[in-house]
Structure 1
Amino acid sequence: MTDPQLALASDIAIWASLAVLALALISFSAHLALTGAAKERRADVRAREQAPVGAGAPAAAWHGRVEAPGHLDESPASAAVEPPTVSHPGGVTRRWGVIGMQLTWMATFGVVGGTALRGLSVQRWPLGNMYEFAIVSASFALVVFSLWSLKRDRLWLGPFVVLPVMAVLIAGKVWYTEASQLMPALDNTMWLSIHVTIATLSVALFIIGAALGIVFLLRDSAERKGPVRGWLAGLPQANKLETMTYGIHIFAFPLWTVVLITGAIWAEVAWGRYWGWDPKEVWTFVIWAVYAAYLHARATSSWTKRSATWVALVGMLCIILNYTVVNLLITGLHSYSGVSS
């Protein structure tokens, strides 16, 4: 039994949330640009203050004191990098970032509400096709980011979370499926709610982890070249970003392990075997293996953190391939994308 009115309300909520997220992306980007410019100016002032007398800027004279040579920063690059404890320079408005966060909260309620309406319209968990997988994953990503921002200042991370979430929602709309009942193989409420819910939560965490990994690589490259300029100066230091990237994956990987295990159990219930080398099963294991390799590389001294992060991004690429190519082009027992061929 499907309620078309609730399904329509769900669609409207998702589309409206996409528009709100677009505004949030603009606000977060403005905040990052303003913060980066302020930190860049501040770093330039510090560099002039710490320059030796006679080198173009009388450092100590500006403050009425003489600095001892040992107090001078010997690293030109480090003079332009904010201390790890400073996340936002004083005197710079956070207005745009706060507006972006408020808009993100609005979009979060919209996407979660649209997802709930989708489930009510079909009287089941909204996890039966590619579109529903997309909106549930986006819901989890927005909820995790919004709650995380309550604990820490994560306004700088806003653009890098909102943009991929918008991409996920747009992809879901591209492969939209009308609200309908489940195919027989999926018609198991307990395993559907456990297996696919954990899968969507894992993917949401991996999306945030990939966003952090990309930001880390960009910031680290900038730091290696010298003083960090532009919007990159508005980001935390590279080592802090890498630690956050690792921390997110530490949470996500055990969840994906549960996905692999519960999928095997559900396969035995549905098809009478735990493992049958179905394309979806194989790719679920491939994703698990790639992220296991990332965690191993991260803990191995012979691997640099940059190299290990690239492995994590390969894992995100595998998730994208699993969602798109495997669902749409490869025939198997898990061919339930819902997209008309």
Structure 2
Amino acid sequence: MPVNETLSQYSDWSYTTSVVIYILAMVFFLVEQSFGRHGRKVAERTRTRQLVTAGAGADDVSPGNDDTGPESDNTGSGTRNTGAERTRAERFGRMGVALTVLGLLLHGAALVLRGLATDRVPWGNMYEYVMITCLVAVAAWLVLLRKHPVRHLSMFVLLPNVILMFVGGTWLYSEAAPLQPALQSYWLIIHVAAAAASSGVFLVPGVASILYLVKARNESNPDSFASFAAKLPAKEVLDRIAYRTTVFAFPVFTFGVLCGAVWAEAAWGRFWGWDPKETVAFIAWIIYAAYLHSRATAGWRGNRAAIINVVGFAATVFNLFFVNLVTTGLHSYAGVG
């Protein structure tokens, strides 16, 4: 069936517009991160240290006399200004969420239009795979925002998404076209959808675990990442986010791996053949299984668990880019073209 060039063009425009909106949302989240409640705490601590260094007395730096702190009890104009600034910063955060939702809608429209233009499921090459992976990642983060007060961290989740989408829309971009013969199977709908969805969700615990390690390093050495770590939530919150999202994504990933084995048997006559992509996917599966097993049995909830999660995310990204674009294997037809 011929490709509908008009719908394909609309898909590309929606994709590009969603990236621009995500970037604008990042700017809004950065404003909240810098000038909101968390940023004000950092400013207060910095001012306190400066006063102490200058030899200020205890009365000068006490919470009651510091009218720049967000929790000050003063009723003077300084406190009112602080509250107004915090409200404005939080308003930027809410606007950032609204922009993220708008970007997600355009992102989803780009995926749907791509499918309508080609009359097939829109995940038949690397460009489309990156598109759906990032879509799931943003959607998963918006769901988490309803459960955890971590809106100010949204920039750190959107940043890798924007980078991936930029790479996908430039270096990995493919013109809308029918599926290659090797991919014309109903297993494409199941296997690739599960793999892309789990990869997207895995981005969230990957980012949360990296931030956890930054927070832990700061607590062991206050001079490390001092200003940045002070704006992060408690380690327990980051650990909980990483664990719960991994628990959700791991069964989906497992299902995708099993479906891939069944598809391989139908297409190539064997369930397993040590193809580079199969091998790295299996390694990533072992890493995430080790993460969940270590938490359930050994009670690992600290740096070791976070490191394992980061390694698992690194393996997922490695499998997405290096294996597809550099190595040669039976999955090479799913590369750039």
Q: One fold, TM greater than 0.5?
A: yes
In the aligned structure 2, how far is the partner of 1:59 from the partner of 1:215? 30
Does structure 2 retain, via aligned residues, the 8 Å contact 1:128–1:336? no
Q: 1:158 aligns to what?
A: 154
- Which of residues 320, 330, 334 is equivalent to 1:337? 334
Choose 226-235 or 302-311, whichever is displaced more: 226-235
Q: 1:71 aligns to what?
A: none
Q: 2:122 aligns to what?
A: 126
Distance 1:58 1:162, change over 3 A: closer
Q: 1:96 aligns to what?
A: 92
Equivalent positions of 1:71-220 (< 5 A) are 92-93=86-87, 94-173=90-169, 174-189=171-186, 191-220=187-216
What is the one-letter code of the residue matched to 1:24?
Answer: A
Q: TM-score, normalised by structure 2?
A: 0.83
- Which of residues 316, 325, 328 is equivalent to 2:325? 328
Aligned residues: 310
Choose 200-209 or 224-233, whichever is displaced more: 224-233
Does structure 2 retain, via aligned residues, the 8 Å contact 1:32–1:231? no
Q: 2:5 aligns to what?
A: 4
Choose 37-46 or 325-334, whichever is displaced more: 37-46
Distance 1:226 1:180, change over 3 A: same
Distance 1:179 1:338, change over 3 A: farther
In the aligned structure 1, how far is the partner of 2:137 from the partner of 2:236? 23
In the aligned structure 2, how far is the partner of 1:62 from the partner of 1:210? 40
Distance 1:137 1:302, change over 3 A: closer
What is the one-letter code of the residue matched to 2:121?
Answer: W
Structure 1 residue 302, shift from structure 2 partner: 8.2
What is the one-letter code of the residue matched to 1:321?
Answer: F
Does structure 2 retain, via aligned residues, the 8 Å contact 1:24–1:99? yes
Does structure 2 retain, via aligned residues, the 8 Å contact 1:137–1:200? yes
Does structure 2 retain, via aligned residues, the 8 Å contact 1:212–1:245? yes
- Which of residues 233, 239, 242 is equivalent to 1:242? 239
Distance 1:284 1:32, change over 3 A: same
Distance 1:114 1:293, change over 3 A: same
Q: TM-score, normalised by structure 1?
A: 0.82
In the aligned structure 2, how far is the partner of 1:103 from the partner of 1:302? 39
Q: 2:17 aligns to what?
A: 16
Does structure 1 retain, via aligned residues, the 8 Å contact 2:208–2:242? yes
Does structure 1 retain, via aligned residues, the 8 Å contact 2:133–2:199? yes
Q: 1:258 aligns to what?
A: 255
What is the one-letter code of the residue matched to 1:15?
Answer: T
Distance 1:58 1:157, change over 3 A: closer
- Which of residues 290, 295, 299 is equivalent to 1:293? 290
Identical-pair percentage:
35
Does structure 1 retain, via aligned residues, the 8 Å contact 2:26–2:96? yes
Residue aligned with 2:333, SS: coil
Structure 1 residue 13, shift from structure 2 partner: 0.7
**Runs (5+) with no aligned partner, structure 2:** 50-56, 72-81
Q: Which digits, 9 at most, give the CA deviation of each residue in 1:115-151, with x for residues without a partner?
A: 1111111111111110000001111111122233234
Distance 1:306 1:300, change over 3 A: farther
In the aligned structure 1, how far is the partner of 2:185 from the partner of 2:289? 30
In the aligned structure 2, how far is the partner of 1:242 from the partner of 1:126? 34
Residue aligned with 2:332, SS: coil
In the aligned structure 2, how far is the partner of 1:60 from the partner of 1:305? 34
Distance 1:144 1:304, change over 3 A: closer
In the aligned structure 2, how far is the partner of 1:146 from the partner of 1:302? 29
Structure 1 residue 41, shift from structure 2 partner: 5.0
Does structure 2 retain, via aligned residues, the 8 Å contact 1:140–1:201? yes
Distance 1:90 1:241, change over 3 A: farther
Q: CA RMSD in A?
A: 2.8
In the aligned structure 2, how far is the partner of 1:283 from the partner of 1:249? 18
Q: 1:224 aligns to what?
A: 220
**Larger RCO, structure (CA 8 Å, separation 6 or more):** 1
Q: 1:69 aligns to what?
A: none
Choose 301-310 or 135-144, whichever is displaced more: 301-310
In the aligned structure 1, how far is the partner of 2:63 from the partner of 2:28? 40
Does structure 1 retain, via aligned residues, the 8 Å contact 2:239–2:301? no
In the aligned structure 2, how far is the partner of 1:115 from the partner of 1:311? 32
